[in-house]
Amino acid sequence: MNLSSLSASSDSAHPLARFGWDEGWVSQFAPYAEQGFLPGRVVRVDRGQCDIATADGVVRADTEFVVPRDPMKVVCTGDWVAVDPDGDPRYVRAYLPRRTAFVRSTSSKRSDGQILAANVDHAVVAVSLAVEVDLGRIERFLALAWESGAQPVVVLTKADLVPDPVTLAHLVQDVETSAPGVPVLTVSALHGEGLDVLVALVGSGTSVLLGQSGAGKSTLANALAGADVMDVQAARDVDGKGRHTTTTRNLLALPSGGVLIDTPGLRGVGLFDAESGVGQVFSEIEELAGRCRFHDCAHETEPDCAVRSAVDNGELPVRRLESYRKLVRENQWIVAKTDARVRTELRRDWKRKGAAGKAAMEAKRGRLQ
């Protein structure tokens, strides 16, 4: 494929346009086009091999040429890649620089990052209304979503199970309070309610569908795709959880435009160097912190703490502050495991806070005597 034909392939009539191929990717791919490689988008990865959507259709290729031992550099669903034009087997020679990447920490003791989806514009967090809404988990998903560079969206699924409009409005308000700057939609994929808004939102760019098992992701994916492209299983009545219907991350071109990446249910969503994402989720706390007397205020025992004052006067829910502290500590711990300088600073900070707490207790005892 020469450069002139590659440029022409960026036209909306090109087969890859429905998968998100645009002028930016044409430019990025130019060096590989000169070498005779074909562009394609990874639609599924499975045990070192992947399915790739190319102009000639979906092809199967091996990924062994792309540093397999680094989990941050393996090929993942949503990547744009350079693949051999022919051969048996075919190989992915490289992936193009990612515009965005949704990353969580792995369960390994090394605290590696694991890329769940690449080149995503919208991170759609599906939350089931069939069970009690876990606001802390939503905040965790949103922190990773903001950190990825994508625009997060919360979709409250199975809205038909909350027939009382007042109750539903309160649930939406609770989620909106925990998701500043994030659209919160209510959807019933079973009855088609609320789908028009979501279809319009995911109708351009690439969206990744995230959430726990039983959140209704596969049903939602089928509704957006207009066909039963994903298997669906009923959630357990006792806790609303479902089995992992989706076992791999799959990329689907939607009939209304846009691309959707469906993911397996996530039991764990550990943070991975998500400081700015946490700050975005708790933007009101970050703003309040700027008014504290001390720039490194821990919002615990320090005098003139604007954050604690906001809690005392009811402006800031206690739950929000506790969730913020938890995610900040977790993120610091993850970063410290791979950064010696951060580890040293963290130990110094813990000692300082410990000494301050001890001094405060001794002063309190002195006043009581």
Q: Can you tell me the distance from the alpha carbon of 154 to that of 314, in angstroms, rounded to the nearest whole number?
A: 25
User: What was the pLDDT predicted at 278?
Assistant: 93
Please say whether the beta carbons of 208 and 254 come within 8 A.
no
Residue 176 has pLDDT above 50, yes or no: yes
What are the DSSP calls for 280-334, one per residue?
HHTHHHHHHHTTSSSTT--SSS-TT-HHHHHHHTTSS-HHHHHHHHHHHHHHHHH
Residues 211-267 have pLDDT tens digits of: 888 888 888 998 888 876 655 444 444 444 444 444 578 999 999 889 999 988 666
- pLDDT for res 105: 76
What are 94's strand-pairing partners? Answer: 82
* Mean pLDDT score, 327-353: 63
Confidence band, pLDDT 50/70/90 cuts, at residue 106 = low
The pTM (predicted TM-score) of the whole model is: 0.81
CB atoms within 10 A of CB 53: 23
pLDDT tier at 55, thresholds 50, 70, 90: very high
Look up residue 29 and give its amino acid. F
pLDDT at 358 over 70: no
4 contacts: CB under 8 Å, gap ≥ 6: none
The two structure tokens encoding residue 110: 């090394």
Q: Output the pLDDT for position 66.
A: 76
